[in-house]
Structure 1
């Protein structure tokens, strides 16, 4: 991938600079740029694809929360001067996308959610995992995917390093607890933008019934399931995921064009 991360004040992000409207991709609690390689390449010709780093590890400790991440995203969108964005979020990134859309509905052209937290999630738990227990972290990381082979050694090593850094580990737990506190069940009727939901049939972190609940509570939404796929469809089954996303965005753009 030729694109490089950019640093602009407090913001770190990748931006393809395409001529189309902004398509902002938000990673999950342990995610990052590598989660969206297939989407960056697929959509770069028609959208300005942007992957900001959610500052879970760099926010002042007193601001480590979903509210802090949403405020950071708002500052970033204002800094870039975008009138409207298409926004996609996986896992915690979906939770941040929903809260941002609720706070700033005028900024949202469409929403795409995959394995989003906000209603129910079963992940690392509410305490730090056993320190130095590599096999525990390996199994937890592999549980993100239907095929454990997708969970590369590099990915497991990165998660292991994060949870064994006490400062980072505390931030992870604080963010996870904040997500549990921000249950969205009573707020989702406030989402009016077209919304695409793509869920893995074998997702054990946000199981399929969570996707069904999102569809029931978000008025203008559609739900698609992908078989032999778990919590990160955009990584595990990128071809099928991109096809759903492509069709959805094409229809939205025809009905509600966004000026780049």
Structure 2
């Protein structure tokens, strides 16, 4: 399925289906396509929205976690999401989602994190992207997954083209350093909504110990691991990821209805 990108004001985004809103946030080297299987699976019963985060072209002075949170706040307001929604984030998107939830607690009714930064992240295998070195980029993209074949040539080419731009690289480095500075360990106790953590058991970027730390710091959170899976479970193990997400949504929706 090819996702259809909509444009409104300065925002580009995917908006599929109808029903309760699932707002999805991609990571630093991520793209809208990272969530294709989630969109396909959930759009019959949910409205699935994915903003394209302006990682590569936002003003350099704003290129960081706070700037991206502000972008999501502006996006939510602009497209008129007035009812609380479920927020999902992978990697940097999880970090932005956590900050957004802490700043806008009445706007988020559920939180789903997968391979999230915010406590620890070994970004790009511990080094920043090397401009013009295709083999290096290929190796680092493969490092994201348990199965290196998931790092298709199309995906590697996309990342290579990004890292071959000085302007884009400057923003990547600025955002990556901002994410490292914005450690949320002391703030995660403020997350009050039902939270699901879905982690790859073979994640080398935010290893399983990071998932356990999130689980300990976010009260009442649920932690699920997927074996033979790296940093992007919704891409590498989409069927299992969607099953876990669907179970979480149904259970928490039923609990919310019963409480009311």
Place the TM-score, normalised by the shorter chain, in its bin: over 0.9
TM-score normalised by the chain length of structure 1: 0.95
Q: Closer, same or farther in 2 for the Cα pair 1:144/1:171, shift >3 Å?
A: same
Q: Closer, same or farther in 2 for the Cα pair 1:101/1:151, shift >3 Å?
A: same
Q: Which structure 2 segments of 5+ residues have no match?
A: none
Q: Closer, same or farther in 2 for the Cα pair 1:223/1:128, shift >3 Å?
A: closer
Counterpart for residue 209 of structure 2: 209
In the alignment, is the contact (CA less than 8 A) between 2:204 and 2:230 conserved in 1?
Answer: yes
Q: Which structure 1 segments of 5+ residues have no match?
A: none
Counterpart for residue 199 of structure 1: 199
Where 1:30 maps in the other structure, the secondary structure is coil
What do the CA deviations read for 1:39-95 (whole angstroms, capped 9, x no partner)? 000000111000111111222221111111000101111112222110100000000
Aligned mates of 1:74, 1:87 — CA distance in 2: 12
Aligned mates of 2:253, 2:37 — CA distance in 1: 21
Aligned mates of 1:193, 1:128 — CA distance in 2: 34
Aligned mates of 1:221, 1:128 — CA distance in 2: 32
Aligned mates of 2:237, 2:217 — CA distance in 1: 26
Equivalent residues in 2 for 1:76-115 (5 A)?
A: 76-82=75-81, 83-115=83-115
Counterpart for residue 143 of structure 2: 143
Bigger mean CA deviation after superposition, 125-134 or 44-53: 125-134
In the alignment, is the contact (CA less than 8 A) between 1:109 and 1:256 conserved in 2?
Answer: no
Q: Closer, same or farther in 2 for the Cα pair 1:2/1:158, shift >3 Å?
A: closer
Where 1:183 maps in the other structure, the secondary structure is coil
State the Cα RMSD in Å: 1.3
Equivalent residues in 2 for 1:91-240 (5 A)?
A: 91-124=91-124, 128-240=128-240
Aligned mates of 1:173, 1:129 — CA distance in 2: 9
Aligned mates of 1:3, 1:172 — CA distance in 2: 25
Aligned length, in residue pairs: 256
User: How far 1:243 sits from its partner (Å)?
Assistant: 0.6
Aligned mates of 1:81, 1:9 — CA distance in 2: 13
TM-score normalised by the chain length of structure 2: 0.95
In the alignment, is the contact (CA less than 8 A) between 2:200 and 2:231 conserved in 1?
Answer: yes
Counterpart for residue 249 of structure 1: 249
Counterpart for residue 40 of structure 1: 39
Where 1:256 maps in the other structure, the secondary structure is helix
In the alignment, is the contact (CA less than 8 A) between 2:201 and 2:207 conserved in 1?
Answer: yes
Counterpart for residue 9 of structure 1: 9
User: How far 1:3 sits from its partner (Å)?
Assistant: 4.1
Aligned mates of 1:131, 1:33 — CA distance in 2: 24
